[in-house]
Amino acid sequence: MDLHLKIWRQKDKQSEGKLVSYDLKELNPHMSFLEMLDTLNEKLITEGDEPVEFDHDCREGICGQCGMMINGIAHGPLKNTTTCQLHLRSFKNGETILIEPFRAEAFPVKKDLKVDRSAFDRIISSGGFVSVNTGQAPDATAIAVTHQIAEEAFDSAACIGCGACVATCKNGSAALFTSAKITHMVLLPQGKKERNERVLNMVTQMDHELFGHCSNTEACEVECPQGISVLNIARMNYEYGRALFFRKK
């Protein structure tokens, strides 16, 4: 199949970027989206141009490193799918595809399609953990966790930190990401002990990082490759209020 691409090229953080057009011909529809970009890059390099920089690693939808806006949609048209798991069979022969970096104030562009998502790491660093030193743990069965709770915690823990929720949100809010971790931790008995400090610290950090506020458009859930539910955000808000209440006392 043939494709016409319009790709955001930006030399570095300071430079201004612009869309550049590229044509690719005779692509195999079973190719993944990133393999299509590889093919483009091979072509650019042999023609003496600079390849397009984009982020990726595992190429199996689990590391969270890939991600771009494809025709205005984070990770492209398929629901619950990362960019690396998107294949050309989801597009039409001859189609024009617009490819841009994830955009948010908290995710500055580094080059072309690469953005800086280290704000997520700082949010985790502010409280997204159970404080346990190595070698201290009691036997794993000492505290029973029911099947349902473990599964529910897993649903939230499955966030891959890709940032699609932020990129797709008109406010650039990190509420889905942050709330997923808060929910994961608070559901499990191991994480409950630190629930108050955790939510207060993480929400504060989130605000420091220039993420916007959540205004409940629920666009994040729609684009999340892991199908993380917006109910997590409700849980975060509840936990936040609860923590404030207990702090006052």
Partner 1 sequence: MILNSKIPQGPLEQKWDNYKKKAKLVNPANRKKLDVIVVGTGLAGSSIAASLGEMGYNVKSFCFQDSPRRAHSVAAQGGVNAAKNYKNDGDSVYRMFVDTLKGGDFRAREANVYRMAECSLNLIDQAVAQGVPFGREYGGYLNNRSFGGVQVSRTFYARGQTGQQLLLGAYQELMRQVGKGTVQLYSRHEMLDLVMIDGKARGIIVRNLDTGEIERHAAHAVVLATGGYGKIYYLSTLAMGCNGSAIWRAHKKGALMASPSWIQVHPTSLPQSGDYQSKLTLMSESLRNDGRIWVPLKADETRLPNDIPENERDYYLERRYPAFGNLAPRDISSRAAKERIDAGFGIGPLKNAVYLDFSKAIREQGKEKIQEKYGNLFDMYLKITGYNAYNEPMMISPSAHFSMGGLWVDYELMTTIPGLFALGEANFADHGANRLGANSLLQASVDGYFIAPYTIANYLADEIHTGKISPDAPEFETAENAVKKQIQDFMDIRGTKTVDYFHKTLGKLLYDYCGLARNEEGLKYAIGEIRKLKQEFYRDVRVSGQGDKMNSELEKAGRVADYFEIGELMCYDALTRNESCGAHFREEFQTPDGEALRNDTEYQFISAWAWAGENREPELIREPLIFEEIQPTVRSYK
Q: How far apart are CA 57 and CA 215, in angstroms?
A: 32
Tell me: does residue 204 bind partner 1 (CB under 8 A): no
Residue of 14, 21, 25, 30 that binds partner 1 (CB under 8 A): 30
Q: Restricting to residues 112-141, which ones interact with ligand FES according to CB under 6 A? A: none
Choose the contact partner of 113 out of ligand SF4, ligand FES, partner 1, none; CB within 5 to 8 A by kind.
none
Which residue from 232, 165, 178, 242 is spatially nearest to 205, judged by alpha carbons?
Answer: 178
Number of residues that bind partner 1 (CB under 8 A): 78
Q: Restricting to residues 91-110, which ones interact with partner 1 according to CB under 8 A? A: 110
Tell me: does residue 197 bind partner 1 (CB under 8 A): no
Interface with ligand SF4 by CB under 6 A: which residues? 159-165, 176-177, 180, 224-226, 228
Residue of 97, 164, 175, 188 that binds partner 1 (CB under 8 A): 188
Phi, then psi, of 5 in degrees rounded to 5: -110, 145
Q: Virtual CA dihedral for 108, 4, 162, 78, nearest 10 degrees?
A: 150
Tell me: does residue 56 bind ligand FES (CB under 6 A): yes
Tell me: does residue 16 bind partner 1 (CB under 8 A): no
Choose the contact partner of 81 out of partner 1, ligand SF4, ligand FES, none; CB within 5 to 8 A by kind.
partner 1
Long-range residue pairs from 127-133, CB within 8 A, at least 24 positions apart, any chain: 127/194, 127/197, 127/198, 127/199, 127/200, 127/201, 127/202, 127/205, 128/178, 128/181, 128/182, 128/185, 128/198, 128/202, 129/185, 130/185, 130/190, 130/191, 130/193, 130/194, 131/194, 132/190
**In the complex, what is the shortest distance from the CB of residue 159 to ligand FES, in angstroms, rounded to a whole number?**
12
Number of residues that bind ligand FES (CB under 6 A): 13
By the 8 A CB rule, do 13 and 110 touch?
A: yes
Choose the contact partner of 39 out of partner 1, ligand FES, ligand SF4, none; CB within 5 to 8 A by kind.
partner 1
Write the binding mask 174 to 213 for ligand FES: x where contact by CB under 6 A, - elsewhere.
----------------------------------------
Tell me: does residue 39 bind partner 1 (CB under 8 A): yes
Tell me: does residue 64 bind ligand FES (CB under 6 A): yes
Amino acid in position 157: A
Choose the contact partner of 78 out of partner 1, ligand SF4, ligand FES, none; CB within 5 to 8 A by kind.
partner 1
By the 8 A CB rule, do 146 and 188 touch?
A: no
Tell me: does residue 66 bind ligand FES (CB under 6 A): yes
Which residue from 98, 137, 86, 112 is spatially nearest to 13, judged by alpha carbons?
Answer: 112
User: Which 8-state DSSP code applies to residue 169?
Assistant: S
**Can you tell me whether residue 93 is helix, strand or coil?**
coil
